[in-house]
Structure 1
Amino acid sequence: MRSLWTLLALPLLLSSLVLVAAFGVAAFFLECARRISCRHSIDPSDAFFEDPNSLRKVPCPSIFDQAEKYLSLIIPAFNEEYRLPGAFIETINYLQRRSASDKSFSYEVLIVDDGSSDRTSEVAFDFVRKYKIENVRVLLLGRNHGKGEAIRKGMLHSRGELLLMLDADGATKITDLEKLESQICTLAEKVKELNPGDQSMKLSDIEVAAFGSRARLEKQALTTRKWYRNLLMKSFHLVVLLTVGPGIRDTQTLLTNLTAARKLFTNMRLKRWCFDVELVYLCKHLGILMTEVCVNWLEIPGSKVRLTSIISMLFELVLIRLGYGLGIWKICN
């Protein structure tokens, strides 16, 4: 009889432990989602750009102000002392050439230093000295928050009618801007055709977003990358598909307009790895038109992605599913 009770008790004990563990994991994820459920507020009154030439402080603008530039380019930078200069020079040269040939093209570059421990901020301020604070600005976050938060802060303090995010390593090229612009204009024209009675509608009035993708380069990557990196890439793409559904396969860069950016970056919550996946999710649920555009992409040495980063990505994807799926994260129009 005792052996019979032992045989029955063991499965019950194991089942109880599994159940307790499952409830514990669920409670942990729900608590994490609850802690970041508050909608972001914008308070530019205590934020300034420093002008190293005049030593004066320039108040940060708000994304809710009227646009003063055609393009705002946001570059998040964390310990990019060595990779930032090459990418920046290539970028600023393109912007200057385009501005010289097209007087309607005005721009600003906003470098967001995400709490770097190296000379990233010094390198960035050298660019401000050379190209003036009207064209290049540096936003210091003080401590490291994550790439997503750096981009969000930059977007919220931008002045452009169009807003572009670009990595500091130069993996994605500024020359692909025109591809993204073309697709955004195509989407906007389709909306105008559906609203022929509203002739006053401008590009900035239509909520659109273009995601730069390296999807067409995936076959090439499979033949040149190590097998475990390919496995991680494929697995991650599958999890992303299950999280936000079909539509956008890759998100190396983003070009959006002022109207859409106001909604996206005041609702965005994730601060580190999967903020771009969350942006796709938000576009779908806010009714923002989006398109995927193939861009050129290079794998630059010095990647900050580690195994722990992959674990963090999966964790954040679960947070997206729980936070929005259970209504813990509210989406404000």
Structure 2
Amino acid sequence: MDAMQLLLVLAMFGVGAAVAVSAASVDLTIVVPAFNEEERLPVLLNDIHEYVSARRADEPKFSFELIIMDDGSRDKTSEVALEFARMHGIKEIRVVRHVINRGKGGAVTQGVLSARGAYIIFCDADGATRFSDIDPLWQKARASERQGLAIAIGSRNNQALSGTVVQRSHVRAFLQWGFHTYVTILGVRGVRDTQCGFKLFSRGAARLVFPNMHVERFIFDIEILLLARYQSIPVVEVPVNWHEVAGSKMSIVRDSVQMALDLLAVRLNYLLGYWKINTH
């Protein structure tokens, strides 16, 4: 299948750690965690394809890779991704498939660790965030970069100031507010939206953060921010256009309670020194 690759990866094993040991060979790696996303994934893939095509029209030397992390899907997520790539002539794709579901955090971590990009972004498979919003993230990351370290995270909470569009249910908005308050109490301050699934990393920042990750479920975003803070990595928050998409795998009540418990556990593990940070 030319440069297209379908890699079957056992759930308890990694797919390599290129980001930790090698130099970048492309400008951008796009990591998409996906679980049973055969219906929603094509919208995002089309968005990415349009962005990359326009970018290459302006910058012919722009290079990228797309990593779809199929996290134990029971549908045709992998096949849909590869068929889209075939139909649109996208050869810069890797589809990595976990045999069993590890969780969004586990899928993102494995994807980032195998990335070859100078910058690495992960984005949710539902296409809730407009992919072209990567440009302001990239600009802010480069402006804030120190010694090759920068993280830019999408935010759904600044639309009143920025003109961006955010559409979410009242229940989701209330839970977002409550979770933000809880996160602030437990020590993650200065970030208004920790959970937006649109985050960009310089290669240097990814090298320091992702080899240290422990959490594989929804709360992994918080661990990313904690690891960034502990290692003095600049983090900037950038408004993005976002809309709620039907078909979420998350149970609002059950998963919100689990996230609260997981967050407390993460904070205690770092505070008590059970989890160490390797900076090499």
Q: TM-score, normalization: structure 2?
A: 0.87
Is the contact made by 1:164 and 1:254 (CA closer than 8 Å) also made in structure 2? Answer: yes
CA distance 1:172–1:239, shift in 2 (3 Å): same
Query: Does the Cα contact within 8 Å between 2:166 and 2:241 map onto a contact in 1?
Result: no
1:301 is paired with a residue whose SS is coil
Aligned in 2, Cα 1:225/1:104: closer, same or farther, shift over 3 Å?
A: same
| Cα deviation digits, residues 17-36 of structure 1 (max 9, x gap) | xxxxxxxxxxxxxxxxxxxx
1:62 is aligned to 18
Deviant stretches of 4+, over 6 Å: 54-59, 218-224
Structure 1 residue 332 displacement after superposition: 1.2
Q: Which residue of 1 aligns with 2:258?
A: 312
2:6, 2:97 within 8 Å by CA — same for their partners in 1? no
- Bigger strand fraction: 2
Distance in 1 of aligned mates of 2:172 and 2:89: 41
Aligned to 1:11: none
RMSD of aligned Cα (Å): 2.5
Q: 1:241 aligns with which of 145, 170, 184?
A: 184
Partners of 1:183 and 1:288 in 2: CA distance:
14
**For 2:108 and 2:94, how far apart are their aligned partners in 1?**
14
CA–CA distance in structure 2, aligned partners of residues 131 and 65 of structure 1: 30
Q: 1:70 to 1:146 in 2, by over 3 A?
A: same
User: In 1, distance between residues paired with 2:126 and 2:210?
Assistant: 23
* Structure 1: unaligned runs, 5 residues or longer: 1-51, 192-204
Is the Cα–Cα contact under 8 Å of residues 44 and 125 in structure 2 kept in the other structure? yes
Q: Kindly indicate whether residue 63 of structure 2 is the aligned counterpart of residue 106 of structure 1.
A: yes
Question: Cα deviation per residue 1:255-302 (whole Å; 9 max; x = unaligned)?
Answer: 111111011100111101111111111110011111111111111111
CA distance in 2, matches of 1:270, 1:56: 27
1:72, CA displacement in angstroms? Answer: 0.2
Instruction: Quote the residue 1:39 is aligned against.
Output: none
CA distance in 1, matches of 2:219, 2:157: 17
Alpha-carbon distance, 1:101 to partner: 1.8
2:229 to 284, 294, 300: 284
Listed as ranges, the gaps of 5+ residues in structure 2 are 8-14
Counterpart in 2 of 1:35? none
Name 1:225's counterpart in structure 2.
Answer: 169
Letter in structure 1 aligned against 2:259: M
Shift of 1:243: 2.1
User: Does the residue aligned with 2:18 lie in a helix, a strand or coil?
Assistant: coil
Of 123, 141, 151, which residue of structure 2 is paired with 1:209? Answer: 151
Displacement, 1:232? 2.0
Change (3 A) 1:224 1:164: closer
CA contact (8 A) 2:6 2:95 kept: no
Q: Distance in 1 between matches of 2:270 and 2:5?
A: 43
CA deviation digits over 1:61-114, x for unaligned, max 9? 711222110000000000001000111111112112211320231111110000
Q: Distance in 1 between matches of 2:167 and 2:68?
A: 34
Pair 136,233 (structure 1): closer, same or farther in 2 beyond 3 Å: same
Q: 2:12 aligns to what?
A: none
Aligned-partner Cα distance in 1 for 2:167–2:44: 26
Please identify, of 149-158 and 95-104, the stretch whose mean Cα deviation from structure 2 is larger: 95-104
Per-residue CA shift, 1:175-206, capped at 9, x if unaligned?
A: 11110011011113xx4xxxxxxxxxxxxx51
The amino acid that maps onto 1:320 is V
In structure 2, C-alpha distance between the alignment counterparts of 1:71 and 1:145, rounded to whole Å: 25
Residue number in structure 1 paired with 2:10: none
Shift of 1:331: 1.0
Does residue 272 (structure 1) correspond to residue 217 (structure 2)? The answer is yes
| CA contact 2:4–2:93 (8 Å) conserved in 1 | no
Deviation at residue 254 of structure 1 after TM alignment: 0.8
Matched, 1:185 2:185: no
**How many pairs does the alignment contain?**
266
Q: Decide which structure has greater helix share.
A: 1
SS at the partner of 2:242? coil
1:159 aligns with 2:159: no
Distance 2:47 2:143 in 1: 27
Verify the 8 A CA contact 1:213 1:294 in the aligned structure 2. Answer: yes
Displacement after TM superposition at 1:303 (Å): 1.6
Q: State TM-score, norm by structure 1.
A: 0.74
* CA offsets 1:103-153 (integer angstroms, 9 cap, x no match): 231111110000001111110121343456741110111110000110000
Preserved CA contact (<8 Å) 1:111 1:138: yes
Measure, in 2, the Cα distance between the counterparts of 1:222 and 1:295.
Answer: 8
